[in-house]
Each structure stands twice: as structure tokens, then as C-alpha cells.
Structure 1
Amino acid sequence: MNIVIRNGVVVDTEPQPVVLGTVDVRVEDGRIAEVGPGLRAAPDAEVIDASGRIVLPGFVDTHRHTWQAGIRAIDPDMTMAGYLQRVLGELAPAHGPEEVYAGTLAGALECLDSGVTTLVDWANAQFTRAHTDAGVRALRDSGIRARFGYCHAGAPEDLLRHGRAVLEGHLGGPGLVGMVVAALGPEIVGPDHALAEWRLARELGLPVTAHLGGYGPEGATAGLAFLRDNGLLATPTTFVHANHYDDDQLKLIADSGGGVSVSPIDEMTLGIGYPVTGRALAAGAPTSLSADTVTCAPGDMFSQMRAAFTLERGRPGGAGLGFTTRDALRLATIDGARVAGLADVTGSLRPGKQADLVLLRADTLGMAAAHDPIGAVVLNADTSAVDTVLVAGRVVKRDGRLLRDDLPDVLAALAASAREVTARTATAAGSRRRQI
């Protein structure tokens, strides 16, 4: 994992996105060692020629229900009510551990293929311990850097015991896959369950990610007051779909050390609300991007950056015209790492960080002659531009192809999973009709 990347146009993102020009990136023992011109390569180092490429940190997705890869585009025109009924109410329970594994593995590989090197997996299909084990195993087998979102919908008194067992059994040591508490939160479950979720996070020393602020102003206000009044804001928390907070509430979140995850496409198409991107940034909250679900939205970060940029710039009266392509790239990289609690690990090219890198082709008709490489990444690139991907200094995609011999098997398992889930759902629906 000693590599020197030469001849590429290098973009760093910390403290702000900047084009460094045609310089080298040296990777040693999986970490970024140096960035600069004419770097010397050790005799055993691999030299990657990045001519015609843009080199930048890998993207960070801070909220994705990765297991849903097998039900992609199941209902592209659904509303939030339809999502809750069909996806969570009918399709999710039809997933056994095998289907969770197939969907999570394929979904994580989809991320890597599109340049997402870090993922917060909001794994809300953990109906049994076997489901949980399957999700964790799939993330590990994929090779992505991930935080597995432990989500427990059972009795509050079981949360700590089960959560500790998952951490100690799977995720307590070093490695690419760690753990966060994916809390259902006070807007979805009762106070006892919500308190138990934050207690689990506090006792295990883990951050929380929760859907908070996306169910209307009244629920957002009540939920935030619950967290404040019970002293729960001291636990690092990612607020997913924070659309219905006012500016003062966003300032409270920022002052507490909380972060925000914006899913701009899903939030608009499902009717959750107008993305809070610019207002969260103005409040001082670390703000990030996420794909959320591929049941009714694209799964790549290029789409999310473009949507966030367009929606923010299009605010009435020119209120969002200060939002730039550099802001969009920052949300997809270093700010995503901050929200995920991994700012010292990934998200930029700072020496000492893990070498999570993406090389984008800039020699195609859609990318050639770009005067501003950052603008081209945000507004012109798509998944076809992703040429090479590294995670912790290991090349996982090269020359436009994931380096896995088992991709046909992964895709076949995903297709079988899709057939099985839809068949089980149809059977369950028929049973309900007969009972009526």
C-alpha cells in the first residue's frame, strides 16, 4: 500500500476545497504521507499515472439504508406516506438475513463504484440478531469504510444488552467498520425507548444518528425539546432530514456539537420538506449529504451535490446565491467526515489521514477542457467518470472496474433477493386480503 499518484490535477478539501494543481500524492502504509510536486517514490511503491484525471478525497455518505439495493426503484413516484407503508411496513419485513446481506453488499459496492469511500449505514432492517450479523458482515466483505447504524426496535430494556453484544462481537476493534447508534428517536417512538437509545450511545461511547426534524414543525420542536430537557444533546448526534427546524433551533443543534445530514433529492420528492442545507451551514452546524434510499432516488454523490447546489441557489429572492460548487464538494467530503465523526480519519488530503481517494476521468467529452476542476466535479461528472478508487490505500477500483472476481455472483444474489422479497410481499398481501 505504498503508492505515488502522479500527473493528476489534485483537489484538496480542508479547510476549504482548493485546486492544488498538477502535484503528486504519496501514500505510505495506507495513509497520505505527502502532497506536493516531484515527490520521490520508494523502490517498492506502485506509481499510478493520473494523467487526464482529477484526484480528490473519496466521498462520504452520512445516511443510507444500504440494505434496500434489492428494491431499487420499487416505487419511484412514492410519497413519504407510501414509503412508510410499502417499504418499511411491507418490504422490510420480507427481508431475511440473506436478503439483508445481498442488499447491503451490493449497496456498499455501488457506493465504492461511484466514488463513495465512507458510508454511514442506517440499518433499519434488524429484525433478529441474524439480520444484524448479516449487515455487518456485508459491510466488511465490501471493503468500504463504514459506520454500521445499530437500530433496535424491540423492548427498551433489551437495547443495552443487545447493543453491547453487537459492539463486542463485531465492531469493538480496529478495522474499516465501526458502529453508531441509529436511534428511532422521540419523533417516532415513546420517551422510554428514546431515552434508552441515547443511554446506549452514552454507555458505549458511540455517536447517534436519528431522523429528527423531518415530520413537521410541531414534531421537530417537541423532539428537540425532549433531547434538550433530558440532557441528550451532549451526545454527538446527526440530525437526519432536519428540514422543519427554525434558525434558532438549528443554532441550538450547532452549539451542542450536532451535525446535519441532508438527502436533497428524497427530501423533495417524498415531500419531507425543502432541504435545510444553507440554513444549517449559516447556523454553524457541520452539514453533509446522503443518498438515503435507492427505492425512489439515485444512489450516487454526484446527483446529491447537484441537487443540493441547485436547490440552494434557487431559493426565492436570490437567498441562496452565496452557495457555491465548493460548498457542495465540501459537504460531500470533509464536512461529511465531520458529521460521521471521522474528520481525523478521512475527507481530505491532510497528511496522516487514511488514503481514501478517487480519481475521476477528465478526458471525456463531458469533462474535457474544464476550466474549474471543482465546478466540473460537482456539475459535470457522473459515475462513468470514476476511474480509480482507494480505501485506506488499497485500490478497490482501477480503470473503471471494481477489482472483484465475484461481481457476477453479487449481482445474481441481489436479483434472487429481489425476486424473493417481492414474492414474500405478494404472498403476505394475498393473506391479508383473504383475512378481510
Structure 2
Amino acid sequence: MLKVENYFMNDQIRPDQINSQGHLQIGGVDSLTLAEQYGTPLVVYDVAQIREQIHRFQAVFEANHVQSEVSYASKAFAAIAIYQVVNQEHGHIDVVSGGELMTAIKAGFPMDRVTFHGNNKSEAELRLALDHQVGMIVIDNFYEIELLSRLLDELDLQTPVMLRITPGISAHTNEYIQTGQVDSKFGFDLGSGQADQALQAVLSNPRFQMKGIHAHIGSQIFEVAGFEGVANKLVEVAKHWQSEFNYQTEILNVGGGFGIRYVENDHPLAPEEFVDAIVKAVKKAAKVAKIPEPGIWIEPGRSIVGPAGYNLYTVGSRKDIPGYNPFLSVDGGMGDNIRPALYEAEYETVLAKDPAAENVETVRIAGKYCESGDILSRSQALPKTEPGDVLAMLDTGAYGFAMASNYNRNPRPAVVFVENGQSQLVIQRETWEDMVRLDLPYELN
């Protein structure tokens, strides 16, 4: 094994991820071998790292003796393969569309361990969920109460539900990914009495099996105070509902949003530290409120798959402008990772053939899409590079492939899972033929 401790340039890469050739390896597989075998751009997941994070979340609840579910927020990355992995680790999933639900169905995921979210679920999506006896539907608004009531009557069914509330807590995160504040498209407002009205509507219909309360305050959160605040707020609501409506809350679902490290300036807690704080806050608040201790569910997405993901790109053209950082263009971009363009999100990138090499310049990593804003990194220190070199962008496992597009009619990349020194293609690369597969000729003229 190559000695790298003394000149290691990126502390997000562990020394054991450098093989004897000095190359970055992922899940025990050489990243250059992956690039050669599957092509680039390529999304790669270290499956062992995903499993480990699920176990760490589960261990927190076990240590605190709490009835719980670790529900993978699959909007971060949805595919048959990831649902299979979560199922193998006895996890739960949440889905937010008919497409995600169908993917879970095709994966053979147990439907009683599926939660269905969404602020505007269609009739077709709700029918699919009811037909497959989804384990929990999180009701988001009054329209959904009416629609779901009608469908349950028509199908002569009952279904377990939670009510999503907006707790009036704004997380310290990007404004586009704050979801717990009062002025949000999600959930029932507390202050106006909407949440109480929704509870009464649900309790009045025996086809609804009312199980608990859900809230989610945002994503990529680094501070525990927001989670403690929402835990206390949900217990407060549970106490109020018990006193006013004689309803005993079985489950508090506090959502997810646990921040991860993308770049050197990010300093999040370990995700399981957030969960431990939530559990202790709920236990304490329930004791003070003198209500039965509810079960606690969480919905981590980014913190499960984000650090396990890598995007591999091949370097192409370069543009040098005196007085500016060079543009180093790669064969991917905003079509496979729109977050830098959408959120100004930042990542760190290394040279796959020598991630421990000394950095000699700062570049802008440019994508191939026809947009000036298609910049994957505006300031990335790198060693000397040549056309054909492979770059590895780190921590790309969440919301990259999930938000991928065919802009400029570029195919979406392949996805590969690696584990124990072996790799497997889990999503095929789209082809140019795929870009026109659904097109139909215009024949009315």
C-alpha cells in the first residue's frame, strides 16, 4: 500500500482508498478501472458505506430503547438497487411520487414499510398506493383528505395515515430547501388552527387509521437546535391533541435533513448525533407533558447516500484566460448534477489517478452543457491535468442523479454499485437512440 499520510491532499479520502498504483479506489475497485469499463460520466456508489450509515442510525434507537423506523428518503436517489439494499438492512423508505412507488414495487420492497409523501398526490398515485397497501400515507392538505376519503369509500378500504404539519421552525439552510416554516407549500399550519381542523376531519372518518404527526424542517442542516425544537413542538402538539380531542399520538416523524460535509468549510455533526439529540428531546418532553412516549421515525436521505457517491468525469478541453482561473471542461455537467447551478452547491474533486498529488493550480470545472452557468466547481485546486484524465467528484450521492435531465438531449449517465472489490451496473447509460425513443412525428400538416 502506498504511503500517503505525509502528503495527503484531501482529508475526505481515507488512506485505504488509495491502492498500490496510487489510484483512488471505491469499494475496493480502482476508479480508473470503473471509468474504463463503464465509461464516463459515471455515478458510483460505495454500498458498504450506505449500509454502515443505516446501521449507525439504527444503533442510536436501539441504544435508547425506542420504537423507531429509519425511513430512507428516497428522493435523494431512487432506483431498484438502492431499495434492495435498504430492504436487506431492514430499513423503511419514503416515496414522493408514483414513479418512486412503482420503482419500490418492482424492487420487491415490502409495502408495509413504505411511507407516501407529497403535497399534490394525484388520484392515480393514491390509487396505486392503496392498491398495493402502502404502510403509511402522510396527508398534506385538505384536498387530499377529501380525495383519499372518496377513494377509500370507493375501494372499501382503510389506510394508516399521518398528518404533516408546518411547525414554524426555519432551519439554517438554503431558502429553497427550508420546509418547516409557516409560509411553506407543505403541511397544515399550527397557528391558524388548520392542523386541528385536519385532525378532526381524519378522526371523524373510520377509514383513516390516524397514527401520528410528521414534520420536516429542511435539508443540509448543521445545528441540532432546530431538531430539538421540532421534537419539542411535536410533543406539544401531541399533548394538545390528547387534551382537546382525546387522540393519543403513536408516532412522531421528525423528518430528516441531517447535514453532511461537502467541502472543507462544512462542519456538520455526525448524523447519528442529531438523532440522539432528537430522541432525548422527545423522551424528556413526553415525560414533562405526561403523555405516553411515542415511537420516533426519521427520514434521512442525503446522510445515507450522499457521502457514498462519486461522479467520475473525463477531462476534455481547456480554456486559459490571463488573470482568471482556467476553465477545465469535462464530459458531464448540469445534466448529471444540477446542484451547483441551482443552489450554488460546492463539492471537492480529486484526480483519480493520483488523489494524493500536490495541487498546482486552481481551476473552474466546466460542464459540456450549453449554459454559462454550467460550472461544477468555481474554485477547485488540482494537480496538473491532461485531456483524458479522470476526475472524481466526492460526496455526490444525493440529488445528483435524482435530479438529472436530458438537457441538450444528452443521455443520463450510468450508475454502478461497488462492494467488496466488485462492481455491478445498476442503471444503464442512456443512448442517443433513447433521446428520441418517445418522440412521435407530426402528421397533421
Task: Give TM-score scaled by structure 2 length.
Answer: 0.39
Task: Give TM-score scaled by structure 1 length.
Answer: 0.40
Give the number of the structure whose alpha-carbon radius of gyration is greater: 2
More helix by share: 1
